[in-house]
Chain A
Amino acid sequence: MAITLASVDALAASITDGDKLAIPKTAAGVSMAVTRELVRRGVRDIHLVGVPTSGLQADVLIGAGCVAVIETSAVTLGEFGTGPRFAAAVRVGTVQVLDATCPAIYAALQAGAKGIPFIPLRGLIGTDVLANRDDWKVIGNPFAQDDPIVLLAAIRPDVALFHAAKADRHGNVYIGRERELMMMAQAARRTVVTVEEIVDEDLMADDSSAAATIASLYVDQIAVAPRGAWPLAFLDRYALDATALGEYAKLARTDDGFQTFLDAWLGVEHGQAA
């Protein structure tokens, strides 16, 4: 079955107000290309799930007013520190933060992928992370005496969005070692992916590539976006544009600075109607 490629904008258009949107950690392949179109379209009230953390992508979406809730274990720009728009929004309360811990995000997604309502996880007891989560509960292990354990509600994102190296003409997407992307796709109701390139080979035909591939069954839309993770690094293909990220970190400290960044990023001259 051959796929029809979509445009980057079509992927963004498929993500609508109020969606629960799962996005991967910075190193796993972030679709900044679609993020830009989401901001341009002015999507609202997104419930972001950072799997298990996020960085520039979450920060930009929060700064642009697209996000109502963020569920994540961290929002970090690496050596440039906490996402500044995330920090500002949490401080004034314009975004609700559901602080988590990395394995809890993974486990809850795993429950989502399995179609079960909750999953137990060790750790967490006695933390303020747990104390601030109404959707997590402590129960007694039913198979042992006096063994409290945390239950996490499953996460079923409406959409999973990420950037990958390549897809084939059947719509299979190569993810290499980043197999947590598979879990995201399995847990989510829809998965939309930007790729660096489309290849002619059938990725499912050979064992060595098939084991590192998400079958097209899980993938709803694919768009080609060369350098689609820029300014973030993407695997071995391109390095972090540290100048661009540093500039962002500086500008995003203030509302005006962030607006300057947005105007340039969206290609809109200052003062011009969008």
Chain B
Amino acid sequence: MNASAPVATPTQFSTAELLISVVARLLQGCRHVAVGESSPIPGAGAFLASHRSNGTMRVSALGSRTHNIMVNGSVELFDLAAQGRIDAFFLGGGQIDGQGNINLVGPGHYPATDVRWPGSFGSSYLYFLVPRVILFREEHTRRVMVPKVDFVSAPGVSAPNVHRVGGPYALLTGLGLFMFDKARQRFRLESVHPGHTLEEIQDQTGFEFDVAPTFGQTAVPDVQSLALIRSEIRREIAEIYPKFAAGLGN
């Protein structure tokens, strides 16, 4: 944390607002960010990053009419990714492991998994082709952060001869922020969110991870970001997620 910058104190923002501001920071420098369905926080974070990019960042959000250039159904999303025209995308996971593997199908033995989740969607493809894939999952428990996923919807790393320009970039949860170290093929904990501790993250994580030498508290949203989130970002995200937008800033 930079003590000289104007910062809001932890009592002045919600967890959603904190996560939105972290997402926006992770997207800095991107030209085109795509956001999938059921992603209100990533969507709001992308809109915030776009607002702060002086018009250099475009956002395509599935489910939006105003922020969507695609006129070929979602076929175009996947072709855009293969053409290198998407710099960042978000994926989640019912299970996420320390190598960045994600499981969107279910825990237990496939196909008769203990619970059946909707399915892998575009993950088995986009994870290979989008350079900056941000894993976003608010629930940070040993149920989610497992030693090894039971089903690989999309792998965190691939053999050297497999065509792969994309992969995990960061893992953002309700407790903290990890960056993915491609060389070490594991996550590195960068920061813990205000109100939480390193011990809590260690207790709730089923996989081993490194801790960054610069490890500290997650930077809190500055007052300008909070003002934007509560005005323009709230209006923009309301087109797709009206209930979520109504709750922002409350």
Which positions in A face B, CB cutoff 8 Å?
25, 27-28, 52-53, 72-76, 78-79, 81-83, 86-87, 90-93, 97, 99-104, 106, 121-130, 132, 146-149, 177-181, 183
Q: Is B247 an interface residue (CB 8 A)?
A: no
Q: Are B75 and A90 in contact (CB under 8 A)?
A: no
Q: How large is the interface on B (under 10, 10 to 19, 20 to 34, 35 or more residues)?
A: 35 or more
Q: Which of B66-74, B183-191, B193-201 contacts A (4 or more CB under 8 A)?
A: B66-74
Q: Which of B11-19, B125-133, B171-179, B221-229 contacts A (4 or more CB under 8 A)?
A: B125-133
Q: Are A99 and B161 in contact (CB under 8 A)?
A: no
Q: Is B215 an interface residue (CB 8 A)?
A: no
B47-106 residues at the A interface, CB under 8 angstroms? 63, 70-75, 78, 82, 104-105
Q: Which of B26-34, B114-122, B137-145, B204-212 contacts A (4 or more CB under 8 A)?
A: B114-122
Q: Are A104 and B125 in contact (CB under 8 A)?
A: yes
Nearest A residue to B108 via CB reads: A91
Which residues of B sit under 8 angstroms from A149, Cβ to Cβ?
Answer: 163
Q: Is B5 an interface residue (CB 8 A)?
A: no
Q: Are B121 and A74 in contact (CB under 8 A)?
A: yes
With contact pairs A53-B119, A82-B117, A101-B124 given, residues A128 and B75 touching in the complex (Cβ less than 8 Å): no
Q: Are A99 and B120 in contact (CB under 8 A)?
A: yes
Q: Are A52 and B118 in contact (CB under 8 A)?
A: no
Q: Are A179 and B71 in contact (CB under 8 A)?
A: yes
Which residues of A sit under 8 angstroms from B37, Cβ to Cβ?
Answer: 78
Rounded to whole angstroms, the CA-CA distance of A87 and B114 in the bound complex is 10
Rounded to whole angstroms, the CA-CA distance of A177 and B162 in the bound complex is 34
Q: Are B152 and A127 in contact (CB under 8 A)?
A: yes
Besides A90-B116, A99-B119, A129-B153, 13 other A-B contacts (C-beta < 8 A): A73-B122, A74-B119, A75-B119, A82-B118, A87-B116, A90-B113, A106-B73, A123-B124, A124-B124, A124-B128, A128-B151, A183-B73, A183-B75
